[in-house]
Structure 1
Amino acid sequence: MKVAAIQMVSGIDRDRNLAAAERLIAEAAATGARLVLLPENFPLMGQREEDKLTIAEADGSGPIQTMLSRAARQHQIWLAAGTYPARGDSATRVRARLSIYSPQGMLTAHYDKLHLFDVQLPDGRESYLESRGIEPGLAVVTARADEAELGCSICYDLRFPELYRQLVTAGATVLLVPAAFTATTGAAHWHTLLRARAIENQCFVIAANQGGSHENGRATYGHSVIYDPWGECLAEAGTGEAVITAELDFASQRELRQRFPVLAHQRIAVQAAPSAVIPDASVSAKTASTKTAAASPNTGAMPASPTHSAPSGDRS
């Protein structure tokens, strides 16, 4: 299966960002990619977290979702749309949503970011309060795309390995990581964290990052990358707009898991996510499936395993 990760340098104008995303999707599809991943915040890198409210969309309507459905259908691809602001339960905050569209242009799954980036970086010059404009999601999500079982995550989620083990327990073979890693945290941790998630879970990792200097003054790291289950880099971008591609060999992945059965050697219980199809999915179970596990509605913390309690949940 050929896959692509798109790297962008999104700005403060939604329509201009959508035009750039659509152009890059077409470029990725022209290489023969069957699955294409967009980065976090692809429609907007605003001046403030609250700016997301101005372009937030209700389920199934709006220019962002219209473009995504059209592009998937036009190019006959599976399209995993980084994040865009989706309306949730709060009047003052949005959900940071990763949506997956089938080659028929149908929404088959969505995942709302669980872990929010509320941090002050060690140098003291950068701080972020993502929870000011975003409310956390409540579910772990996997979704089928042809022979791939996609495990959904977003940016700061990368620092929480228990999420990825839940995804793999639910059957994930490919981990999606759309991101907007800062230049500072990216230089320090981006490759290390991504490679670790690939190796420990024996999964392919597709990571699509923002990459450059943005109109709002932010600097993001770029270096979108695709890793195989052994931790080998299959493709990597630099900075600026880019499309990277790689072939995923699932037969080799299955052989690795048989010969080096680290997942079967797990001694600490991990609760698997029960199967459920999201209400707005409108394709048959043969072409798409979604699995979810509820989190705490107050903290976004994941369910504890049968024998271990999980700490309360507190990005890149």
Structure 2
Amino acid sequence: MLIKSIAAFAAALTLGHAAAATAPATAPATAHPAFKVDVTGTGAPIILIPGLGSSGGVWDGTVAHYCGSGKHQCHVLTLAGFAGEPAIDTPLLPAVEQQLSSYIADNKLQSPVVIGHSLGGFLGMKLAAGHPEQVGRLVIVDTLPALGATQVPSITVAQLKQLAEGMRANMKGQDAQTFKAGQLSMLRTMITKQEDMDRVMAAGKLSDRSTVIDAMADLMGSDLREDISRITAPTLVLGTWIAYKDYAPKPAITAMYTTQYAKLPGVRVEIADNARHFIMYDDPAWMYDRIDNFLN
């Protein structure tokens, strides 16, 4: 049996955040309305992309680790419709990919390191596959090229899209109480400490319900297992397994990661033993050690 809990986790993350209050629907008057950017430090650029419903604040510890010494400059995104940022009226994922490519070009960022968590890791893959000349190195934190294919690896793109549309309709049809009921229990499968759960919940409550649902459905309906062959950037994938140990042992989960990333040339896959989905919260020292070795 493939790992049912990963697909369940993906849906649950949406259910948890989809109860959030709706943010304003008007886009900010900037060149990149699909995201806000906070810039810290000077030096070689690092772009940090958070996951579904999260603010750029999930990367605060990462920014402190890398961008306070003059060696790196951090460009931290918060996506439109997440954590209080105004939503946009066009599909979020393609808008982020194209506008982030323009942001890199407009700001003359040379071979930036791109680090993405969950949905942010998926967007990092999209950017690196679609604009390979713009990404120097890529770090993907706990996501897969085809998240919807964890249970049935042979599923077709058409079947994935059908699955995603069913998910979208189901989530949009549920009431707020149903969404809220599963939030805390599911967050406990993703994060270990209560204070970290509180941070994620606070951002989720400020996220736009439709944006979160649509982004999750679009993610679940996508398959980048072939597209990642176009990535030329050296790539590090950091995965987790302890939240899923009741469904499959670590070797099976590791095999799933390596199989899904098989067509990404030279990819390096590392699996954490002590962290759940939010690795930057659960085991930052492990994450920094792996990224440090990868960047040096």
TM-score between both structures, scaled by the size of structure 2: 0.35
More strand by share: 1
Per chain length, whose mean CA-contact separation is higher, i.e. which structure has more relative contact order (CA < 8 Å, sep 6+)? 2
